[in-house]
């Protein structure tokens, strides 16, 4: 792995401590520190007064110890002098309250004033630090996202939103039509009436509000990237993104214009399936390139049960095996004060290297030595692609189905069956070339991008297998249901018609209210398998397909639930339920993999990862118990959290 690192706050600990820290870092195998994302007030303590001496000194001292630096632009935390003098730089939340100083990410991403001050500090930083050879990379802002604060609703954003809508729809009449304003007659008669949506507003308005905020915040990140690149084209410029892909920014578009996909990934006890999914997703954002983990826990977040000493090592090797090229611990030392006072650093708050330092040091030193021999292995091969469309993700966040159908959970449940079989997957946008894959998964794509529809038809005609699930092609590009039957543009491909569907929960019982929905399941059965469907069931008509499973009970008893349509070479499988029980998903995944000719790795206990990369196979035991496995014709006994790298595949 190229970089083993930590997030470091020299502005907090002071210049007298840097040399001691650098020495301890070096001894722990650290060769990268990430610095400066919250340090604006120490870089520019007053308007136009810049104090970079402390930062130059810190960067130099780290360099003397062989440590490179990922410098950050400090825009998540504007200084108090700035926001007090220019309140228009502050984000206004959905209730109309202007956020105030003392937290982070409280800026407005469309404010011209904020952009002007950001431009000045970023350009200054870039110019000042271009001469340091050990500044090798940049992180823009910190976790740019709308999760912490929500969308900004200030008057500038409202005006910009109207401009954005005008260029998208041309006229108010078209806007009314596209947003479907006829219900509750929320028709607009003057552009001034059009404002960003709040939670109780129509889905189409919410969806466009999210699209707009996504574009504007992404633009705020990319404008900083350009400033940095103007200074030095060889810097690796990126930003650290938060969470899985189900957030408020289109990561495909963002990373397309950044140098490396960076992810803050807090491995936790019992979340390995989700971690593996996230690593595969981040590996997909820059196809063929390695990703960086720009933050990972030194201890437990939220002060949970401490990780087993071997667990950090297992997570580190898992990241390396999936294609990680940097592993940066958050953070170097537990802080004495501040909102995250309880968050455990590598060093104790006393500055003493304790258990966490020792566990990380051991893992880092081993990784440094071992990975040097493994660096040139090809990335894991993927024959399975999950299509991810941000318009769909934003639609789930904007509509009632987002709460009724937990899109992320269903996506994760589907992905888990591939993880369990050690089948690696890629995440692709709806416009992707599908020809490198043998199986394509559509996880509840409520709207179908026309390019995707074309690509899927070509893919199946060429012998590919498609496996689609849940609400498929039922909405238009504005999140409105369509007048015709689904799956939009794909009726022939799947040989089915979806008339609509029903949600599977009860809120009409005598002792129930709509506030307490009780989920229930419906039995499905067929020759292939039997099981249950939950959450949502499609009202499906089989046309030109074979019915694999039928509904056994309730309103839709006897109706097809899971179908397949064979063409000359390819196959299109559709499961008309948003959620199936795990066993049934497993059966369908096995079936689809078999039809696609993709081999699963059999006989491996759950949470033991087997990752093939060229001539080597990585085996990582995430379990608290020893396991025995047979991999690459070898019998292995791995201790709890043990790791092995074996020759052969
Ligand atoms: C990240 C963030 C860090 C820190 C960390 C704590 O999301 O970037 O600054 O807050 O979480 O878990």
Structure tokens at 322: 């999936």
Q: Is 37 in the pocket of ligand 1 (CB under 6 A)?
A: no
The three-state (H, E, C) secondary structure of 568-627, written as one string: CCCEEEEECEEEECHHHHHHHHHHHHHHHCCCCCCCCCCCEEEEEECCEEEEEECCCCCE
Q: Is 312 in the pocket of ligand 1 (CB under 6 A)?
A: no
Bridge partners for 496 per DSSP: 542
pTM of the model: 0.96
Q: Of residues 37, 68, 143, 280, which has the active-site annotation?
A: 143
Distance CA 154, CA 473 (A): 35
Distance CA 2, CA 367 (A): 10
Query: Ligand 1: distance of its center to the CA of 104 in Å?
Result: 11
Structure tokens at 50: 């810049």
Q: Is the pLDDT of residue 401 over 80?
A: no
Query: Ligand 1: distance of its center to the CA of 366 in Å?
Result: 26
Three-class DSSP category at 282? helix
pLDDT of residue 407: 87
Q: Is the pLDDT of residue 306 over 90?
A: no
Q: Could you tell me the pLDDT band of residue 300, with boundaries at 50, 70 and 90?
A: low
CB 370 within 8 A of CB 313: no
More confident position, 304 or 212: 212
pLDDT digits (tens, 9 = 90+) for 169-207: 999 999 999 999 999 999 999 999 999 999 889 999 999
How far is the CA of 391 from the CAs of 147, 210, 267, 434, 633, in angstroms? Answer: 17, 9, 28, 19, 45
Distance CA 243, CA 221 (A): 17
295 is catalytic: yes
Q: Is 77 in the pocket of ligand 1 (CB under 6 A)?
A: no
Domain ranges for the chain: 3-150+220-374, 384-596, 608-647
pLDDT of residue 301: 60
Bridge partners for 628 per DSSP: 637
- Report the CATH number of the 384-596 domain: 3.40.50.880
Query: Ligand 1: distance of its center to the CA of 235 in Å?
Result: 24
Q: Is the pLDDT of residue 514 over 90?
A: no
pLDDT of residue 157: 98
Q: Is 521 in the pocket of ligand 1 (CB under 6 A)?
A: no
Q: Could you tell me the pLDDT band of residue 437, with boundaries at 50, 70 and 90?
A: very high
Q: Is 542 in the pocket of ligand 1 (CB under 6 A)?
A: no
Q: Is the pLDDT of residue 347 over 70?
A: yes
pLDDT digits (tens, 9 = 90+) for 47-73: 999 999 999 999 999 999 999 999 999
Mean pLDDT of the chain: 95
pLDDT of residue 580: 95
Residue 118: how many other CB atoms lie within 10 Å: 26
Q: Could you tell me the pLDDT band of residue 9, with boundaries at 50, 70 and 90?
A: very high
Query: Ligand 1: distance of its center to the CA of 187 in Å?
Result: 42
- Report the CATH number of the 3-150+220-374 domain: 3.20.20.80
């Amino acid at each position: 792995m190229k970089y083993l690192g930590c997030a470091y706050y020299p502005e907090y600990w002071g210049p007298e401590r840097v040399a001691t820290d650098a020495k301890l870092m070096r001894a722990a195998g650290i060769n990268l520190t990430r610095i400066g994302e919250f340090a604006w007030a120490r870089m520019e303590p007053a308007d136009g007064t810049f104090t970079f001496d402390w930062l130059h000194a810190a960067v130099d001292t780290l360099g003397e110890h062989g440590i490179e630096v990922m410098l950050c632009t400090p825009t998540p935390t504007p200084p108090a002098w700035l926001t007090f003098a220019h309140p228009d730089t502050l984000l206004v939340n959905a209730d109309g309250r202007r956020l105030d100083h003392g937290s982070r990410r409280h800026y407005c991403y469309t404010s011209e004033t904020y952009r002007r001050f950001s431009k000045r500090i970023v350009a200054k930083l870039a110019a000042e630090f271009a001469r340091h050879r050990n500044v090798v990379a940049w992180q823009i802002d910190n976790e740019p996202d709308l999760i912490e604060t929500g969308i900004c609703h200030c008057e500038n954003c409202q005006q910009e939103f109207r401009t954005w809508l005008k260029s998208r729809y041309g006229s108010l009449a078209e806007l009314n039509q596209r947003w479907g304003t006829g219900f509750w007659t929320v028709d607009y008669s003057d552009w001034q009436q059009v404002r960003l949506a709040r939670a109780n507003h129509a889905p189409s308005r919410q969806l466009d509000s999210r699209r707009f905020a996504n574009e504007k915040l992404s633009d705020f990140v990319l404008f900083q990237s350009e400033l940095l690149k103007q200074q030095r084209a060889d810097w690796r410029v990126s930003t650290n993104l938060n969470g899985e892909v189900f957030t408020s920014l289109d990561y495909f578009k963002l990373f397309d214009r950044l140098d490396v996909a960076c992810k803050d990934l807090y491995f936790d006890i019992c979340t390995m399936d989700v971690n593996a999914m996230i690593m595969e997703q981040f590996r997909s954002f820059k196809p063929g390139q390695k990703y960086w983990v720009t933050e990972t826990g030194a201890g437990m977040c939220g002060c949970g049960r401490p990780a087993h000493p071997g667990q950090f090592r297992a997570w580190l090797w898992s990241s390396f095996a999936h294609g990680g090229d940097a592993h940066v611990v958050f953070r170097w030392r537990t802080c004495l004060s501040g909102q995250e006072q309880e968050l455990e650093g590598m060093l104790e708050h006393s500055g003493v290297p304790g258990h966490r330092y020792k566990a990380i040091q051991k893992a880092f030193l081993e990784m440094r030595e071992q990975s040097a021999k493994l660096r040139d292995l090809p990335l894991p091969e993927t024959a399975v692609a999950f299509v991810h469309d941000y318009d769909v993700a934003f639609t789930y966040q904007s509509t009632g189905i987002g709460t009724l159908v937990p899109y992320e959970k269903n996506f994760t449940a589907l992905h888990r069956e591939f993880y369990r079989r050690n089948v690696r997957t890629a995440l692709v946008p709806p416009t992707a070339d599908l020809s490198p894959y043998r199986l394509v998964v559509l996880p509840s794509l409520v709207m179908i991008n026309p390019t995707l529809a074309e690509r899927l038809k070509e893919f199946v005609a060429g012998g590919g297998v498609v496996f689609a699930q849940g609400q498929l092609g039922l909405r238009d590009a504005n999140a409105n249901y369509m007048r015709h039957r689904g799956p939009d543009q794909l009726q022939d491909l799947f040989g089915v018609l979806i008339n609509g569907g029903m949600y599977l929960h009860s809120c009409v019982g005598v002792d129930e209210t709509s506030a307490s929905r009780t989920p229930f399941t419906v039995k499905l059965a067929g020759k292939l398998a039997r099981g249950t469907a939950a959450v949502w069931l499609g009202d499906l008509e089989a046309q030109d397909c074979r019915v694999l499973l039928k509904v056994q009970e309730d309103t839709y008893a006897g109706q097809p639930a899971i179908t397949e349509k064979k063409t000359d070479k390819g196959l299109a499988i559709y499961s008309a339920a948003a959620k199936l029980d795990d066993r049934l998903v497993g059966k369908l995944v096995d079936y689809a993999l078999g039809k696609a000719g993709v081999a699963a790795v059999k006989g491996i206990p759950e949470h033991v990862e087997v990752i093939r990369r060229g001539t080597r196979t990585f085996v990582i035991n995430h379990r608290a118990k020893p396991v025995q496995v047979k991999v690459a014709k070898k019998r292995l006994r791995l201790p709890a959290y043990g790791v092995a790298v074996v020759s052969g595949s």
